[in-house]
Amino acid sequence: MDIKIMVVAIVSVVMIAAVVKQWFKTREAQGDQTFFEDISKKLDKIEKLEKRVMVLEKIVTDKKTKLADEIDNL
C-alpha cells in the first residue's frame, strides 16, 4: 500500500471517529434534556395531585355543615 493512501486512510478514520463521537454526545445530551423535561412534567402533576388531595382531606375532615358549604363553593 502506498504511504500516501495509508495516511489518507488513517486521517479519514480519525475524522469519521470524531464525527461519530460528537454525534453520540449530542444524542446523549438531547436524551438527558428529554429526561429532565419528563421529570419536570411529572413533578408538576404531583404538585397538582397533592393540592387535590389536600382539598379532599379538608372536605372529609370538616363537619357536615362545612362540607355542604365547601361543595357549594366548588
* Tally of CA atoms within 13 A in the half-sphere of 3 that contains its CB: 0
- Containing structural domain, residue 14: 3-73
Number of domains in the chain: 1
Q: Cβ distance 29 to 37 under 8 Å?
A: no
Supply the pLDDT for residue 63: 67
Q: Which three cell numbers stand for residue 19?
A: 464525527
Task: Chunk the chain into consecutive blocks of 10 residues (it has 74) and report each block's average pLDDT, rounded to whole numbers.
Answer: 79 87 79 76 88 81 70 80
Q: Distance of alpha carbon 3 from its chain centroid, rounded?
A: 50
Q: Compute the distance between CA of residue 10 and CA of residue 30 in angstroms, rounded to an integer.
A: 30
Report the chain's terminal Cα–Cα distance, integer Å. Answer: 84
Q: pTM score > 0.75 for this model?
A: no
